[in-house]
Amino acid sequence: MIYYDKVTKVYQDESIALDGVSFGVESKEFVTIVGHSGAGKTTLMKMLTAEDWPSEGAVYLESANVHKMNKGQMNKLRRRIGTVFQDYRLLQNKTIYENIAFAMEAAGRTDSEISADVPHVLELVDISHKIWNFPKELSGGERQRVAIARAIVTQPDIIIADEPTGNLDPTNTYEIIRILRKINELGTTVLLTTHNRGVVDAVGGRVITMEKGKVIRDDKEGKYIL
Amino acid sequence: MIFTNFKRITRTGFVNFWRNGFLSFAAIVVLTISLLTLGGIIFAGAFGRALIVDVKNKVDINVYFTLTAPESDILAIQKELNRLPEVDSTTYISRDQVLTSFKTKWQDNTLIMQGLDEIGDNPFPATVNVKAKDPGQYSSIAQYLQNKNPTMSDGTPLIEKVNYEQNKLVIDRLSQIIPAVEKAGMIIAIIMILVAIIVVFNTIRLIVYTSKDEISVMKLVGASNVYVRGPLVVSGIMYGIISGLITLVLMAAIAYWSDAAILRFAGVEVASDFELVVNVLSKYFTQNFGQIFVIIMGIGVILGGVSSYVAARRYLRV
Protein backbone atom coordinates (compact mmCIF):
# COMPACT_ATOMS: atom_id res chain seq x y z
CA MET A 1 0.00 0.00 0.00
CA ILE A 2 2.76 2.44 1.02
CA TYR A 3 6.30 2.11 -0.26
CA TYR A 4 9.35 4.20 0.57
CA ASP A 5 11.91 3.63 -2.20
CA LYS A 6 15.48 4.62 -1.27
CA VAL A 7 14.27 7.94 0.17
CA THR A 8 17.02 10.38 1.03
CA LYS A 9 16.52 13.87 2.41
CA VAL A 10 19.43 16.29 2.69
CA TYR A 11 18.62 19.78 3.97
CA GLN A 12 20.26 22.99 2.75
CA ASP A 13 22.65 23.00 5.71
CA GLU A 14 23.91 19.57 4.47
CA SER A 15 22.31 17.73 7.42
CA ILE A 16 20.94 14.33 6.42
CA ALA A 17 17.44 13.62 7.71
CA LEU A 18 16.85 10.41 5.73
CA ASP A 19 19.50 8.24 4.17
CA GLY A 20 18.27 5.75 1.57
CA VAL A 21 15.23 4.56 3.51
CA SER A 22 13.28 1.71 1.91
CA PHE A 23 10.36 -0.25 3.34
CA GLY A 24 6.77 -1.07 2.55
CA VAL A 25 3.57 -1.03 4.61
CA GLU A 26 0.66 -3.34 3.88
CA SER A 27 -2.97 -2.30 4.11
CA LYS A 28 -4.45 -2.56 7.66
CA GLU A 29 -0.99 -2.91 9.22
CA PHE A 30 -0.04 -1.19 12.50
CA VAL A 31 3.57 -0.05 12.19
CA THR A 32 5.46 1.63 14.98
CA ILE A 33 8.51 3.65 13.96
CA VAL A 34 10.96 4.08 16.79
CA GLY A 35 13.99 6.32 17.09
CA HIS A 36 15.63 9.04 19.14
CA SER A 37 14.94 12.70 18.39
CA GLY A 38 16.51 13.58 15.05
CA ALA A 39 16.41 10.00 13.77
CA GLY A 40 14.20 11.07 10.86
CA LYS A 41 10.78 9.79 12.01
CA THR A 42 8.87 13.04 11.45
CA THR A 43 10.55 13.68 8.09
CA LEU A 44 9.51 10.18 7.07
CA MET A 45 5.87 10.96 7.93
CA LYS A 46 6.00 14.34 6.17
CA MET A 47 7.13 12.57 3.00
CA LEU A 48 3.91 10.59 2.86
CA THR A 49 1.68 13.69 3.07
CA ALA A 50 4.00 15.57 0.67
CA GLU A 51 4.70 18.20 3.32
CA ASP A 52 8.36 17.60 2.56
CA TRP A 53 10.11 16.51 -0.61
CA PRO A 54 12.84 13.87 -0.95
CA SER A 55 16.26 14.80 -2.30
CA GLU A 56 16.42 11.34 -3.85
CA GLY A 57 14.10 8.36 -4.09
CA ALA A 58 10.30 8.29 -4.09
CA VAL A 59 7.29 7.59 -1.90
CA TYR A 60 4.44 5.59 -3.40
CA LEU A 61 0.87 5.21 -2.26
CA GLU A 62 -0.78 2.39 -4.21
CA SER A 63 1.83 2.74 -6.96
CA ALA A 64 1.30 6.52 -7.34
CA ASN A 65 4.30 8.71 -6.61
CA VAL A 66 2.92 11.19 -4.07
CA HIS A 67 5.39 13.89 -5.08
CA LYS A 68 4.32 13.83 -8.70
CA MET A 69 0.68 14.56 -8.00
CA ASN A 70 -1.03 17.78 -9.02
CA LYS A 71 -2.86 20.00 -6.49
CA GLY A 72 -6.21 18.26 -6.90
CA GLN A 73 -4.71 14.78 -6.55
CA MET A 74 -2.72 15.98 -3.54
CA ASN A 75 -5.87 17.23 -1.80
CA LYS A 76 -7.55 13.88 -2.46
CA LEU A 77 -4.49 12.01 -1.14
CA ARG A 78 -4.51 14.05 2.06
CA ARG A 79 -8.20 13.30 2.58
CA ARG A 80 -7.27 9.61 2.57
CA ILE A 81 -4.68 10.18 5.31
CA GLY A 82 -5.60 11.26 8.82
CA THR A 83 -2.78 12.97 10.71
CA VAL A 84 -2.25 13.27 14.47
CA PHE A 85 0.62 15.39 15.77
CA GLN A 86 2.42 15.71 19.08
CA ASP A 87 1.37 19.40 19.28
CA TYR A 88 -2.25 18.54 18.26
CA ARG A 89 -2.44 21.30 15.62
CA LEU A 90 -6.08 22.08 16.21
CA LEU A 91 -7.64 25.23 14.75
CA GLN A 92 -7.57 27.54 17.76
CA ASN A 93 -10.40 29.85 16.79
CA LYS A 94 -12.80 27.02 16.03
CA THR A 95 -14.82 25.00 18.54
CA ILE A 96 -14.23 21.26 18.84
CA TYR A 97 -17.32 20.65 16.69
CA GLU A 98 -16.01 23.06 14.03
CA ASN A 99 -12.53 21.50 14.07
CA ILE A 100 -13.99 18.11 13.22
CA ALA A 101 -16.57 19.55 10.84
CA PHE A 102 -13.85 21.39 8.93
CA ALA A 103 -12.11 18.14 7.96
CA MET A 104 -15.46 16.81 6.72
CA GLU A 105 -16.24 20.00 4.82
CA ALA A 106 -12.82 19.82 3.17
CA ALA A 107 -13.66 16.27 2.13
CA GLY A 108 -16.89 17.50 0.51
CA ARG A 109 -19.36 16.00 2.99
CA THR A 110 -22.89 17.36 3.22
CA ASP A 111 -24.21 19.33 6.19
CA SER A 112 -26.45 16.46 7.27
CA GLU A 113 -23.54 14.00 7.21
CA ILE A 114 -21.48 16.44 9.26
CA SER A 115 -24.15 17.02 11.88
CA ALA A 116 -24.64 13.25 12.23
CA ASP A 117 -21.00 12.12 12.22
CA VAL A 118 -19.26 14.77 14.34
CA PRO A 119 -21.06 13.97 17.63
CA HIS A 120 -20.66 10.26 16.88
CA VAL A 121 -16.89 10.42 16.38
CA LEU A 122 -16.49 12.62 19.47
CA GLU A 123 -18.33 9.98 21.44
CA LEU A 124 -15.93 7.34 20.11
CA VAL A 125 -12.96 9.21 21.59
CA ASP A 126 -14.98 10.12 24.69
CA ILE A 127 -14.85 13.90 24.35
CA SER A 128 -18.44 14.67 23.36
CA HIS A 129 -19.03 16.67 26.55
CA LYS A 130 -16.59 19.33 25.28
CA ILE A 131 -18.16 19.65 21.82
CA TRP A 132 -18.70 23.46 22.01
CA ASN A 133 -15.46 24.28 23.80
CA PHE A 134 -12.41 25.80 22.16
CA PRO A 135 -9.08 23.87 22.08
CA LYS A 136 -7.46 26.19 24.65
CA GLU A 137 -10.11 25.11 27.16
CA LEU A 138 -9.07 21.45 26.93
CA SER A 139 -6.28 19.45 28.59
CA GLY A 140 -3.48 17.89 26.51
CA GLY A 141 -5.09 14.45 26.54
CA GLU A 142 -8.45 15.89 25.53
CA ARG A 143 -6.89 17.87 22.69
CA GLN A 144 -5.15 14.76 21.40
CA ARG A 145 -8.43 12.86 21.43
CA VAL A 146 -9.98 15.69 19.38
CA ALA A 147 -7.03 15.46 16.97
CA ILE A 148 -7.68 11.72 16.61
CA ALA A 149 -11.38 12.37 16.09
CA ARG A 150 -10.51 14.83 13.31
CA ALA A 151 -8.15 12.31 11.76
CA ILE A 152 -10.67 9.47 11.68
CA VAL A 153 -13.90 11.33 10.95
CA THR A 154 -13.46 11.11 7.18
CA GLN A 155 -12.75 7.39 7.51
CA PRO A 156 -9.29 7.60 5.96
CA ASP A 157 -7.32 4.59 4.73
CA ILE A 158 -4.25 5.58 6.72
CA ILE A 159 -3.62 7.27 10.06
CA ILE A 160 -0.27 8.92 10.67
CA ALA A 161 0.32 9.53 14.37
CA ASP A 162 3.57 11.46 14.85
CA GLU A 163 4.57 11.24 18.53
CA PRO A 164 0.92 11.56 19.57
CA THR A 165 1.71 10.79 23.20
CA GLY A 166 4.78 13.02 23.48
CA ASN A 167 3.02 15.63 25.64
CA LEU A 168 0.74 13.29 27.58
CA ASP A 169 0.81 11.68 31.02
CA PRO A 170 0.84 7.83 31.24
CA THR A 171 -2.93 7.51 31.67
CA ASN A 172 -3.70 9.61 28.59
CA THR A 173 -0.86 7.91 26.69
CA TYR A 174 -2.39 4.48 27.09
CA GLU A 175 -5.84 5.81 26.33
CA ILE A 176 -4.58 7.24 23.01
CA ILE A 177 -2.81 3.98 22.16
CA ARG A 178 -5.98 2.04 22.94
CA ILE A 179 -7.95 4.28 20.56
CA LEU A 180 -5.34 3.88 17.80
CA ARG A 181 -5.39 0.08 18.20
CA LYS A 182 -9.15 0.11 17.97
CA ILE A 183 -9.02 2.20 14.78
CA ASN A 184 -6.54 -0.29 13.32
CA GLU A 185 -8.76 -3.24 14.22
CA LEU A 186 -11.56 -1.55 12.26
CA GLY A 187 -9.36 -1.72 9.14
CA THR A 188 -7.31 1.48 9.04
CA THR A 189 -3.56 1.35 8.42
CA VAL A 190 -1.72 3.09 11.26
CA LEU A 191 1.79 4.54 11.19
CA LEU A 192 2.86 5.56 14.68
CA THR A 193 6.15 7.24 15.57
CA THR A 194 7.42 7.32 19.13
CA HIS A 195 10.51 7.22 21.28
CA ASN A 196 8.57 5.97 24.28
CA ARG A 197 9.57 2.42 25.30
CA GLY A 198 6.29 1.87 27.14
CA VAL A 199 4.26 2.75 24.05
CA VAL A 200 6.25 0.36 21.84
CA ASP A 201 5.90 -2.49 24.24
CA ALA A 202 2.18 -1.81 24.74
CA VAL A 203 1.41 -1.66 21.03
CA GLY A 204 3.36 -4.74 19.96
CA GLY A 205 3.30 -5.68 16.26
CA ARG A 206 5.74 -4.47 13.62
CA VAL A 207 8.47 -2.09 14.78
CA ILE A 208 10.83 -0.20 12.47
CA THR A 209 13.84 1.22 14.29
CA MET A 210 15.61 4.28 12.88
CA GLU A 211 18.92 5.89 13.69
CA LYS A 212 20.58 8.87 11.99
CA GLY A 213 18.17 8.76 9.07
CA LYS A 214 18.56 5.06 8.39
CA VAL A 215 16.36 2.05 9.09
CA ILE A 216 18.50 -0.17 11.31
CA ARG A 217 15.87 -2.81 12.16
CA ASP A 218 12.50 -3.91 10.84
CA ASP A 219 10.92 -6.57 13.11
CA LYS A 220 7.55 -8.25 12.61
CA GLU A 221 7.07 -8.50 16.37
CA GLY A 222 9.46 -5.84 17.53
CA LYS A 223 10.51 -4.36 20.83
CA TYR A 224 12.16 -1.17 21.97
CA ILE A 225 15.88 -1.78 21.55
CA LEU A 226 17.41 1.72 21.71
CA MET B 1 -21.80 21.82 -4.07
CA ILE B 2 -20.56 25.20 -5.32
CA PHE B 3 -23.37 26.94 -3.45
CA THR B 4 -22.68 24.90 -0.31
CA ASN B 5 -18.98 25.75 -0.47
CA PHE B 6 -19.76 29.42 -1.04
CA LYS B 7 -22.08 29.39 1.97
CA ARG B 8 -19.50 27.67 4.18
CA ILE B 9 -16.68 29.97 3.08
CA THR B 10 -18.80 33.08 3.71
CA ARG B 11 -19.95 31.81 7.10
CA THR B 12 -16.40 30.93 8.15
CA GLY B 13 -15.18 34.36 7.00
CA PHE B 14 -17.84 36.07 9.15
CA VAL B 15 -17.08 33.85 12.17
CA ASN B 16 -13.32 34.43 11.86
CA PHE B 17 -13.90 38.17 11.56
CA TRP B 18 -15.88 38.15 14.79
CA ARG B 19 -13.60 35.79 16.73
CA ASN B 20 -10.37 37.53 15.72
CA GLY B 21 -11.79 40.65 17.37
CA PHE B 22 -8.60 42.57 18.08
CA LEU B 23 -6.97 41.78 14.73
CA SER B 24 -10.16 42.76 12.89
CA PHE B 25 -10.27 46.00 14.88
CA ALA B 26 -6.62 46.75 14.01
CA ALA B 27 -7.24 46.06 10.31
CA ILE B 28 -10.33 48.30 10.31
CA VAL B 29 -8.43 51.14 12.00
CA VAL B 30 -5.58 50.98 9.47
CA LEU B 31 -7.92 50.62 6.51
CA THR B 32 -10.11 53.50 7.77
CA ILE B 33 -7.07 55.76 8.11
CA SER B 34 -5.99 54.85 4.58
CA LEU B 35 -9.48 55.44 3.16
CA LEU B 36 -9.68 58.73 5.05
CA THR B 37 -6.43 59.74 3.35
CA LEU B 38 -8.14 59.01 0.07
CA GLY B 39 -11.21 60.95 1.23
CA GLY B 40 -8.91 63.83 2.15
CA ILE B 41 -7.44 63.75 -1.35
CA ILE B 42 -10.96 63.80 -2.84
CA PHE B 43 -11.93 66.77 -0.64
CA ALA B 44 -8.67 68.61 -1.25
CA GLY B 45 -9.21 68.12 -4.99
CA ALA B 46 -12.78 69.43 -4.77
CA PHE B 47 -11.78 72.38 -2.64
CA GLY B 48 -8.79 73.15 -4.84
CA ARG B 49 -10.90 72.95 -7.98
CA ALA B 50 -13.53 75.26 -6.45
CA LEU B 51 -10.79 77.71 -5.52
CA ILE B 52 -9.20 77.58 -8.96
CA VAL B 53 -12.57 78.03 -10.68
CA ASP B 54 -13.24 80.97 -8.41
CA VAL B 55 -9.87 82.56 -9.18
CA LYS B 56 -10.27 81.84 -12.90
CA ASN B 57 -13.69 83.49 -12.82
CA LYS B 58 -12.12 86.52 -11.21
CA VAL B 59 -9.81 86.94 -14.21
CA ASP B 60 -11.32 88.51 -17.29
CA ILE B 61 -10.72 91.30 -19.78
CA ASN B 62 -12.99 94.21 -20.61
CA VAL B 63 -13.26 95.70 -24.05
CA TYR B 64 -14.13 99.40 -23.68
CA PHE B 65 -15.76 101.01 -26.69
CA THR B 66 -15.64 104.64 -27.76
CA LEU B 67 -18.56 106.75 -26.55
CA THR B 68 -19.94 107.13 -30.08
CA ALA B 69 -19.72 103.46 -31.01
CA PRO B 70 -23.12 102.24 -32.29
CA GLU B 71 -24.66 99.38 -30.31
CA SER B 72 -25.16 97.30 -33.47
CA ASP B 73 -21.39 97.41 -34.18
CA ILE B 74 -20.60 96.47 -30.58
CA LEU B 75 -23.01 93.54 -30.72
CA ALA B 76 -21.43 92.41 -34.00
CA ILE B 77 -18.01 92.38 -32.34
CA GLN B 78 -19.44 90.50 -29.37
CA LYS B 79 -20.83 87.93 -31.80
CA GLU B 80 -17.41 87.53 -33.42
CA LEU B 81 -15.78 87.12 -29.99
CA ASN B 82 -18.26 84.40 -29.08
CA ARG B 83 -17.20 82.49 -32.16
CA LEU B 84 -13.55 82.36 -31.00
CA PRO B 85 -12.67 78.90 -29.61
CA GLU B 86 -10.76 80.49 -26.70
CA VAL B 87 -13.81 82.45 -25.48
CA ASP B 88 -15.99 80.90 -22.80
CA SER B 89 -18.54 83.71 -22.48
CA THR B 90 -19.07 87.39 -23.15
CA THR B 91 -21.35 89.94 -21.51
CA TYR B 92 -22.40 93.19 -23.11
CA ILE B 93 -22.92 96.08 -20.72
CA SER B 94 -24.48 99.11 -22.38
CA ARG B 95 -23.55 102.66 -21.42
CA ASP B 96 -26.88 103.09 -19.61
CA GLN B 97 -26.35 99.91 -17.61
CA VAL B 98 -22.88 101.06 -16.56
CA LEU B 99 -24.29 104.42 -15.50
CA THR B 100 -27.13 102.82 -13.53
CA SER B 101 -24.86 100.43 -11.68
CA PHE B 102 -22.42 103.28 -10.95
CA LYS B 103 -25.23 105.37 -9.53
CA THR B 104 -26.49 102.49 -7.43
CA LYS B 105 -23.02 101.82 -6.07
CA TRP B 106 -22.25 105.43 -5.16
CA GLN B 107 -25.73 106.69 -4.31
CA ASP B 108 -24.69 107.50 -0.73
CA ASN B 109 -21.64 109.50 -1.83
CA THR B 110 -22.93 113.00 -2.56
CA LEU B 111 -19.58 114.28 -3.81
CA ILE B 112 -19.38 111.69 -6.55
CA MET B 113 -23.03 112.07 -7.42
CA GLN B 114 -22.59 115.88 -7.71
CA GLY B 115 -19.57 115.39 -9.99
CA LEU B 116 -21.60 113.13 -12.19
CA ASP B 117 -24.41 115.68 -12.42
CA GLU B 118 -21.92 118.38 -13.40
CA ILE B 119 -20.67 116.30 -16.29
CA GLY B 120 -24.27 116.12 -17.49
CA ASP B 121 -23.79 113.49 -20.16
CA ASN B 122 -23.15 109.76 -19.56
CA PRO B 123 -19.32 109.55 -19.36
CA PHE B 124 -19.16 105.74 -19.30
CA PRO B 125 -18.33 103.69 -22.37
CA ALA B 126 -20.14 100.49 -23.36
CA THR B 127 -18.19 97.41 -22.36
CA VAL B 128 -17.95 93.81 -23.40
CA ASN B 129 -16.68 91.58 -20.63
CA VAL B 130 -14.83 88.54 -21.98
CA LYS B 131 -14.10 85.33 -20.08
CA ALA B 132 -11.69 82.90 -21.65
CA LYS B 133 -11.85 79.13 -21.19
CA ASP B 134 -8.32 79.24 -19.77
CA PRO B 135 -6.40 82.20 -18.31
CA GLY B 136 -3.55 81.50 -20.77
CA GLN B 137 -5.82 82.37 -23.71
CA TYR B 138 -6.42 86.03 -22.89
CA SER B 139 -3.33 87.18 -24.76
CA SER B 140 -4.56 85.66 -28.03
CA ILE B 141 -8.02 87.23 -27.56
CA ALA B 142 -6.42 90.63 -26.91
CA GLN B 143 -4.16 90.08 -29.91
CA TYR B 144 -7.19 89.25 -32.05
CA LEU B 145 -8.91 92.52 -31.13
CA GLN B 146 -5.74 94.53 -31.68
CA ASN B 147 -5.19 93.02 -35.15
CA LYS B 148 -8.79 93.46 -36.13
CA ASN B 149 -8.97 97.10 -34.90
CA PRO B 150 -12.62 97.61 -36.01
CA THR B 151 -13.68 101.04 -37.10
CA MET B 152 -16.88 102.93 -37.75
CA SER B 153 -17.88 103.98 -41.26
CA ASP B 154 -16.00 107.30 -40.85
CA GLY B 155 -12.81 105.48 -39.87
CA THR B 156 -13.01 106.21 -36.13
CA PRO B 157 -11.87 103.21 -34.07
CA LEU B 158 -14.69 101.40 -32.29
CA ILE B 159 -12.55 100.17 -29.43
CA GLU B 160 -11.19 102.66 -26.93
CA LYS B 161 -9.03 100.15 -25.08
CA VAL B 162 -8.72 96.54 -23.92
CA ASN B 163 -7.60 96.20 -20.30
CA TYR B 164 -5.48 93.11 -20.98
CA GLU B 165 -2.17 94.84 -20.29
CA GLN B 166 -3.26 95.91 -16.79
CA ASN B 167 -4.31 92.33 -15.95
CA LYS B 168 -1.45 90.71 -17.85
CA LEU B 169 0.78 90.11 -14.81
CA VAL B 170 -1.97 88.39 -12.81
CA ILE B 171 -3.16 86.41 -15.81
CA ASP B 172 0.34 85.20 -16.67
CA ARG B 173 1.11 84.18 -13.10
CA LEU B 174 -2.16 82.32 -12.77
CA SER B 175 -1.54 80.54 -16.08
CA GLN B 176 1.70 79.21 -14.63
CA ILE B 177 0.58 78.57 -11.07
CA ILE B 178 -2.71 76.75 -11.72
CA PRO B 179 -1.28 73.88 -13.84
CA ALA B 180 1.68 73.57 -11.43
CA VAL B 181 -0.69 73.32 -8.44
CA GLU B 182 -2.83 70.75 -10.26
CA LYS B 183 0.26 68.68 -11.17
CA ALA B 184 1.72 68.84 -7.65
CA GLY B 185 -1.66 67.88 -6.19
CA MET B 186 -1.83 64.88 -8.50
CA ILE B 187 1.70 63.71 -7.56
CA ILE B 188 1.02 64.12 -3.82
CA ALA B 189 -2.26 62.23 -4.22
CA ILE B 190 -0.58 59.34 -6.05
CA ILE B 191 2.19 59.09 -3.41
CA MET B 192 -0.33 59.12 -0.55
CA ILE B 193 -2.48 56.49 -2.24
CA LEU B 194 0.58 54.25 -2.77
CA VAL B 195 1.61 54.65 0.87
CA ALA B 196 -1.94 53.81 1.99
CA ILE B 197 -1.99 50.68 -0.20
CA ILE B 198 1.38 49.48 1.16
CA VAL B 199 0.33 50.08 4.79
CA VAL B 200 -2.97 48.22 4.34
CA PHE B 201 -1.34 45.34 2.51
CA ASN B 202 1.30 44.89 5.20
CA THR B 203 -1.26 45.03 8.01
CA ILE B 204 -3.40 42.35 6.38
CA ARG B 205 -0.29 40.32 5.59
CA LEU B 206 0.56 40.33 9.30
CA ILE B 207 -2.96 39.20 10.15
CA VAL B 208 -2.76 36.36 7.62
CA TYR B 209 0.71 35.52 8.98
CA THR B 210 -0.83 34.82 12.39
CA SER B 211 -3.00 32.19 10.67
CA LYS B 212 -0.17 30.46 8.82
CA ASP B 213 -0.13 27.43 11.14
CA GLU B 214 -3.88 27.06 10.75
CA ILE B 215 -3.54 27.33 6.99
CA SER B 216 -1.00 24.49 6.96
CA VAL B 217 -3.31 22.33 9.11
CA MET B 218 -6.19 23.03 6.76
CA LYS B 219 -4.05 22.03 3.81
CA LEU B 220 -3.02 18.83 5.60
CA VAL B 221 -6.61 17.73 6.08
CA GLY B 222 -7.01 18.07 2.32
CA ALA B 223 -8.75 21.45 2.04
CA SER B 224 -8.45 23.04 -1.38
CA ASN B 225 -6.80 26.44 -1.80
CA VAL B 226 -10.19 28.08 -2.42
CA TYR B 227 -11.53 26.61 0.79
CA VAL B 228 -8.56 27.85 2.83
CA ARG B 229 -8.22 31.25 1.20
CA GLY B 230 -11.93 32.01 0.80
CA PRO B 231 -12.69 32.87 4.45
CA LEU B 232 -9.59 35.09 4.63
CA VAL B 233 -10.79 37.00 1.56
CA VAL B 234 -14.31 37.28 3.04
CA SER B 235 -12.83 38.72 6.25
CA GLY B 236 -10.72 41.11 4.15
CA ILE B 237 -13.83 42.28 2.28
CA MET B 238 -15.59 42.82 5.61
CA TYR B 239 -12.68 44.97 6.82
CA GLY B 240 -13.17 46.98 3.61
CA ILE B 241 -16.95 47.35 3.98
CA ILE B 242 -16.85 48.41 7.63
CA SER B 243 -13.88 50.76 7.09
CA GLY B 244 -15.63 52.22 4.04
CA LEU B 245 -18.80 52.93 6.02
CA ILE B 246 -16.85 54.51 8.90
CA THR B 247 -14.88 56.61 6.40
CA LEU B 248 -18.07 57.85 4.70
CA VAL B 249 -19.55 58.88 8.05
CA LEU B 250 -16.33 60.67 9.01
CA MET B 251 -16.18 62.36 5.59
CA ALA B 252 -19.75 63.58 6.01
CA ALA B 253 -18.87 64.98 9.43
CA ILE B 254 -15.73 66.65 8.07
CA ALA B 255 -17.65 68.08 5.10
CA TYR B 256 -20.34 69.62 7.29
CA TRP B 257 -18.02 70.97 9.98
CA SER B 258 -15.24 72.14 7.71
CA ASP B 259 -17.06 75.15 6.26
CA ALA B 260 -17.22 76.94 9.58
CA ALA B 261 -13.62 75.94 10.27
CA ILE B 262 -12.46 77.28 6.89
CA LEU B 263 -14.25 80.57 7.50
CA ARG B 264 -12.68 80.82 10.96
CA PHE B 265 -9.25 79.95 9.54
CA ALA B 266 -9.38 82.23 6.51
CA GLY B 267 -11.28 85.01 8.16
CA VAL B 268 -14.73 85.99 6.97
CA GLU B 269 -13.44 88.92 4.94
CA VAL B 270 -10.86 86.92 3.02
CA ALA B 271 -13.36 84.15 2.49
CA SER B 272 -15.99 86.45 1.09
CA ASP B 273 -13.37 88.23 -0.97
CA PHE B 274 -12.44 84.98 -2.67
CA GLU B 275 -16.09 83.91 -2.64
CA LEU B 276 -15.07 80.74 -0.84
CA VAL B 277 -18.59 79.58 -1.16
CA VAL B 278 -19.76 78.43 2.22
CA ASN B 279 -20.59 74.72 2.09
CA VAL B 280 -18.10 73.89 -0.67
CA LEU B 281 -17.34 70.46 0.80
CA SER B 282 -20.81 69.68 2.09
CA LYS B 283 -22.28 70.62 -1.30
CA TYR B 284 -19.67 68.55 -3.08
CA PHE B 285 -20.24 65.59 -0.74
CA THR B 286 -24.02 65.72 -1.18
CA GLN B 287 -23.96 66.23 -4.95
CA ASN B 288 -21.33 63.53 -5.58
CA PHE B 289 -22.31 61.09 -2.84
CA GLY B 290 -22.97 58.21 -5.24
CA GLN B 291 -19.57 58.57 -6.84
CA ILE B 292 -17.77 58.99 -3.48
CA PHE B 293 -19.62 55.97 -2.06
CA VAL B 294 -18.55 53.77 -4.97
CA ILE B 295 -14.92 54.99 -4.81
CA ILE B 296 -14.49 54.62 -1.02
CA MET B 297 -16.41 51.33 -0.67
CA GLY B 298 -14.93 49.93 -3.87
CA ILE B 299 -11.34 50.70 -2.92
CA GLY B 300 -11.93 49.47 0.65
CA VAL B 301 -13.37 46.16 -0.53
CA ILE B 302 -10.73 45.69 -3.24
CA LEU B 303 -7.86 46.61 -0.87
CA GLY B 304 -9.14 44.29 1.87
CA GLY B 305 -10.02 41.40 -0.43
CA VAL B 306 -7.01 41.53 -2.73
CA SER B 307 -4.55 42.02 0.16
CA SER B 308 -5.93 38.93 1.90
CA TYR B 309 -5.88 36.95 -1.34
CA VAL B 310 -2.27 37.85 -2.11
CA ALA B 311 -1.07 37.51 1.51
CA ALA B 312 -2.50 33.98 1.84
CA ARG B 313 -0.80 32.78 -1.33
CA ARG B 314 2.63 32.11 0.15
CA TYR B 315 1.24 29.98 3.01
CA LEU B 316 -0.75 27.77 0.67
CA ARG B 317 2.36 26.11 -0.67
CA VAL B 318 2.18 23.24 1.81
- Provide the CATH number for the domain formed by B60-164 in this structure: 3.30.70.3040
Query: Which pTM does this prediction carry?
Result: 0.73
Instruction: Give the range of the structural domain holding residue A193, as residue numbers without chain letter.
Output: 27-52+80-219
* CA–CA distances in Å: residue A115 to residues A49, A109, B221: 27, 10, 18
- Rounded Cα distance between A141 and A139, Å, is 6
Q: Which one, of B8, B38, B13, B6, lies nearest residue B247 by Cα? A: B38
Count of domains forming chain A: 1
Of B4, B221, B318, nearest to A51 by CB-CB distance is: B318
For the domain that residue A200 is a member of, what is the CATH number? Answer: 3.40.50.300
Residue A154 domain-assigned (yes or no): yes
Mean pLDDT of A213-222: 88
Of A79, A89, A110, nearest to B217 by CB-CB distance is: A89
CB atoms within 10 A of CB A92: 15
Compute φ and ψ for B160, nearest 5 degrees.
-75, -55
Q: Which one, of B143, B144, B150, B193, lies nearest residue B303 by Cα? A: B193
Beta bridge partners of A8: A56
Q: How many angstroms away from the CA of A216 is the closest CA of chain B?
A: 29
* CA–CA distances in Å: residue B215 to residues A22, A78, A110, B90, B223: 31, 14, 22, 69, 9
Residue of chain A whose alpha carbon sits nearest to that of B16 = A93
ipTM confidence score: 0.80
The residue ranges of every structural domain in chain B are 2-56+173-316, 60-164
Residue A20 domain-assigned (yes or no): no
Q: How many angstroms away from the CA of A199 is the closest CA of chain B?
A: 26
- Rounded Cα distance between B203 and B31, Å, is 9
Residue of chain A whose alpha carbon sits nearest to that of B316 = A71
Q: Do B221 and A111 touch (CB under 8 A)?
A: no
Compute φ and ψ for A189, nearest 5 degrees.
-70, 135
Q: Do B220 and A78 touch (CB under 8 A)?
A: yes
- Chain B neighbors of A111, CB-CB under 8 A: 4
Q: What is the 3-state secondary structure (H, E, C) of chain B?
A: CHHHHHHHHHHHHHHHHHHCHHHHHHHHHHHHHHHHHHHHHHHHHHHHHHHHHHHHHHCCEEEEECCCCCHHHHHHHHHHHHHCCCEEEEEEECHHHHHHHHHHHCCCCHHHHHHHHHHCCCCCCCEEEEEECCHHHHHHHHHHHHHHCCECCCCCECEEEECHHHHHHHHHHHHHHHHHHHHHHHHHHHHHHHHHHHHHHHHHHHHHHCCHHHHHHHHHCCCCHHHHHHHHHHHHHHHHHHHHHHHHHHHHHHHHHHHHHHHHHHCHHHHHHCCCCCCHHHHHHHHCHHHHHHHHHHHHHHHHHHHHHHHHHHHHCC
Question: Contact A124/A149 with Cβ under 8 angstroms?
Answer: yes
Residue A88 domain-assigned (yes or no): yes
Question: Contact A192/A180 with Cβ under 8 angstroms?
Answer: yes
In chain B, % of residues over pLDDT 90: 36
Question: Contact B240/B300 with Cβ under 8 angstroms?
Answer: yes
- Rounded Cα distance between B95 and A92, Å, is 86
**How confident is the model over B24-63, as pLDDT tens digits?**
999 999 999 999 998 988 888 888 777 777 777 777 888 9
pLDDT (0 to 100) of residue B265: 67
Residue A225 domain-assigned (yes or no): no
**How confident is the model over A62-103, as pLDDT tens digits?**
889 999 999 889 888 898 999 998 888 999 989 999 999 999
Beta bridge partners of B206: none
In chain A, % of residues over pLDDT 70: 98
Q: How confident is the model at residue B155 (pLDDT cuts 50, 70, 90)?
A: confident
Mean pLDDT of B246-260: 88
- Rounded Cα distance between B81 and B88, Å, is 10
Compute φ and ψ for A219, nearest 5 degrees.
-110, 135
- Chain B neighbors of A76, CB-CB under 8 A: 222
Residue of chain B whose alpha carbon sits nearest to that of A103 = B221
